A and B are shown apart, each in its own frame.
Chain A
Amino acid sequence: MKNPIAGVARHAAFAVIVAVAAPSIAIAQEAKDDTAVSSFTLENGLEVVVIPDHRAPVATHMLWYKVGSADEDPGKSGIAHFFEHLMFKGTSTYPSGEFSDAIAAVGGNENAFTSYDFTAYYQQVAPSELPEMMQFEADRMRNLVLSEENIETERKVVLEERHQRVDNVPSSILSEELNATLYQNHPYGIPVIGWQQEIEGLTHDDLKSFYDRFYTPNNAVLVVAGDVDPENVREMAEETYGKIARGPDLAPRARPMEPVQKTAREVSLRDPRVSVPNLSINWFVPSYRTAEKGEFEAVAILSEILGEGLRSRLYQELVVKQGVAASAGSYLQGSAYDYSALVLYGQPRGDADLATVEKAIIAQIEKIKNEGVTQEELDTARTKIQRDQIFLRDSQVRSANLFGAVLTTGGTVEDVTSLPERLDAVTVEDVKAAAERYLDLDRAVKGYLLPEGEERS
């Protein structure tokens, strides 16, 4: 595979993220050996999760902060992400570039990412380098230098990033405005990267107070995966992160919540760069944290049966049997603090138009609401989710990502490891009830990406 060009369209069409995912079976099987996941909390409030994997001499070190774009003050959108960039600009202890140079000097990789509810920094290095990584990462939790010059240069970089990710990509422009329509009161309606004019307006003082407020050990989760043992990690963490004083207690993450949604809404973008249209139907549903017991699992299984993968109802019906769609499916956004988005999508093919695809998706919605699912479908979906967790355990980064995301969105290690039992508890009645409750077309938000000058149907 010297030139990894994407294969057939349907395989690459949509990356599905179900973060309810958990390496539970593998964990259950391994609980007695030296690869069991463990967790503990340092005295200063830093939570630590250790995921041993002794197959290769590699360790993944991730520090997750419980702050994301949804925690930003009004008018300051993009600050969480902008600040993430500035975390690479040097501290009073280590000037700019020293941390990155140290990582590069041992052949390590590093990066960071920001989402609605968390911001995370990671390095992949040989296990022997972990103490040094912890030293550097702990240092920049408190000793960052925010110079006006760095802020101005990085502001340009972030604006270029916004151009690259959003303005140059029609589907991203639509997605941004669709979210703003789906969420009318909750900050999930504001893009993680921020609105351009607000990125332009962020000041040194804004950034400094953001840092002081959120970058503390009691607002962070350390995840270490790889060729390590928990006791060793604890010692290293105490020597480094453990020396940082606990920060002030943070106020609960009480974001403005959504009012009862009473309308159906539509958002369209016509763009000359688009030549084949597509559509999505979007709802927000409770997150794992806010759902009633068992409800989130039922929605996850609903999405699995309805639209995840080549054997799902939407794919089989629209793409294979009716032949009206090039792609069709669904996904449930996982690991969110307040709400998860449930999305159904489709793109026409051949002589079919967008309206035909929409009608066919709606017919499947009605069918699953009226008739529910079979026990066989439920069992298959359950097995598939659990199988995915075994495969997930094969990747250090994916395992670490899962635990980090769950722990920064109100979940616990047990929430991850108890997935098999929680899935076992879901019945066909639960799935039908979830379909009836959430697949409500009278309060759906539809997104249409259209070629210029073309009507929807």
Chain B
Amino acid sequence: MSQTLNFIPGAFMRSFFKAGTLLALILVAGPVQAAVKIQEVSSEKGVEAWLVEDHSLPIITMQFSFDSGAAQDPDGKAGLANLMTGLFDEGAGDLDSDAFQTKMEELGAEMSFNASSDAISGQVRMLSENSDEVLDLVRLAVTSPRFDIDPVERIRSQIAVGIRADERNPSKQGGEALAKALYGDHPYARSTEGTLETLASITPEDLKAFHKRVFGRSNLTIGVVGDIDAERLAAVLDTVFGALPEEAELQVVEDIEPKLGQEVRVDYPLPQTTLRLVYPGIERDDPEFFSAYLMNQILGGGVFSSRLFQEVREKRGLAYGASSYLMSRDHAQSLAIQTATSSEKADETLAVMEEVIAGLRDEGPTQEELDTAKTYVIGSYAINNLDSSTAIARTLVGLQEDDLGVDYIERRSDLINAVTLDDVKEAATRLLTQKPALLVVGPAKQGGE
């Protein structure tokens, strides 16, 4: 039923790029100099947002995020944040599910919510002509979701089908087993969807209490793009978010170092073996962040010229994709490397990757590689972060979440240009020396190790 084969995204590995964008989302630079003008907007009640005004299309896009996420799920209730995100358009205020959705449809707007481990985010796209009415629905959804029992049961059982459907999917099982191995008892070890048991235990009262606890003005970040000016936005902010409690009541989530140096195997007779290596990462506010970022770019950062792509794919044809990406989450950091190769070539491929990693760690990159990486990283950001209202709105939220400052855009190029060859070499030593965790999903080895 999938349409994937109707349309083959080509020579490069699109699916691997997805992993790569994890970093882009964290790094989220702003627009190129003077490309877009960010306005800081503050409402009477003190709700703040960043705005990029643009009247060339009759559209307003709003992105917002509550610092919270699945990491806030109470013990035994894993899946709560994710379940909640399925219920914001299922009834709010005096409107039941049907009435709410009918109204939203009549207005021609789109609203969606998403839970990651660290945040619950929402996105709304609306036509400016009826945006007051849409925003009133958003207000209801954000401040007074109903969590009526019928929609709760329906969405719960839909999610449960998704969990069950993945039960025998080796790649999904591999990802979960690796998370457990890396993070042990930490919330990051849990799947955002929860388990069938924890999902089943969640009640409408749990949802109400959780909503009350994690939706506050203190942990809220907002980005708005499009056909709206600062004055109107200030009023909108109070209308939509003004009734939320001042302070969210978040539970403390400990920072955790992923437990590396171990091997996780999911034995399954597949024609292709997936390999993932996990190394230490770097915090977003570490002064050496860009040294590590450029190092990753050179190692496997999703461009044709990266060392992994060249050695694994271009020279040897061992895989369709080979890439690396930094994951800087709120409470854990890592650098992951992934590829998938014919099962009989798994050992050879792993050896090639290890050689590439050792080479970069021991010798560092060349000046030419670093220069190329810098130009790419500086130039690509407008393309990756600015090519639609949706992308810009996401960028505005990311910049605020990472506390990078409204002038970050202007500073970013200088931060990157200041990185030296020695800095990158040091970053390579720092991140690539420890023995990594290894995930192997594929046929069991004959005769053991």
Contact = CB atoms under 8 A, between A and B. Distances in A.
Given A108-B380, A387-B127, A394 B372 contact: no
Nearest to B330: A2
A307 interface: no
A395 B387 contact: yes
Contacts of B117: 2-3, 5
B287 interface: no
A350 B153 CA distance: 10
B46 interface: no
Interface string B258-269: 000000000010
B281 to A, nearest CB: 12
B155 interface: yes
A1 B65 contact: yes
B10 A58 contact: no
A326 B25 contact: no
Interface stretch (B105-113, B211-219, B231-239, B425-433): B105-113
B115 A5 contact: yes
Interface stretch (B241-249, B308-316, B404-412): B308-316
Main secondary structure of the interface of A (DSSP, over half): mixed
B57 A113 contact: no
A104 B270 contact: no
B10 A111 contact: yes
Contacts of A76: none
Contact of A7 (B114, B271, B381): B114
Interface stretch (B140-148, B161-169, B202-210, B354-362): B161-169
B170 interface: yes
B340 A156 contact: no
B305 interface: yes
Interface stretch (A136-144, A162-170, A200-208, A257-265): A162-170
B367 interface: no
A179 B390 CA distance: 35
| Chain B CB within 10 Å, residue with most, of A14, A274, A326, A451 | A326
A7 to B, nearest CB: 4
B240 interface: no
B167 A278 contact: no
Interface stretch (A49-57, A214-222, A284-292, A413-421): A49-57
B382 A160 contact: no
B382 A58 contact: yes
Given A4-B114, A9-B159, A310-B101, A156 B318 contact: yes
Contact of B381 (A107, A111, A172): A107
A390 B272 contact: no
A163 B387 CA distance: 33
B6 A192 contact: yes
B9 A113 contact: yes
A81 interface: yes
Nearest to B303: A104
B336 interface: no
Contacts of A394: 57, 59, 61, 388-390
Contact of A349 (B9, B11, B158): B158
Interface residues of B, number: 113
B1 A5 contact: no
Contacts of B3: 15, 17, 175, 331, 333
B342 interface: yes
A17 B5 CA distance: 13
Interface string B359-388: 000000000000010011111111110111
Contacts of A35: 56
A424 interface: no
Contacts of B154: 319-320, 323
Contacts of B401: 2
B375 A275 contact: no
Interface in B118-134: 118-119, 121, 125, 127
B305 A97 contact: yes
A346 B36 CA distance: 44
B56 A171 contact: no
Q: Which 10 A-B pairs have the closest CB atoms?
A: A107-B379, A156-B317, A8-B86, A112-B10, A107-B380, A326-B161, A3-B116, A100-B304, A9-B162, A163-B272
18 contacts: A1-B121, A26-B58, A57-B35, A85-B10, A107-B383, A125-B383, A126-B379, A156-B317, A160-B317, A192-B8, A273-B168, A276-B165, A331-B3, A350-B157, A383-B108, A391-B59, A393-B57, A447-B1
Given A116-B6, A275-B167, 12 more contacts: A1-B119, A10-B155, A55-B54, A58-B387, A101-B305, A160-B320, A163-B272, A164-B272, A319-B154, A333-B6, A349-B161, A380-B106
Interface of B: 1-12, 14-15, 21-22, 25-26, 31-32, 35-36, 54, 56-59, 61, 65, 82-83, 85-86, 89, 97, 101-102, 105-106, 108, 110, 112-119, 121, 125, 127, 154-155, 157-162, 164-171, 192, 268, 270-272, 303-305, 313-321, 327-330, 340-342, 372, 375-384, 386-390, 392, 394, 397-398, 401
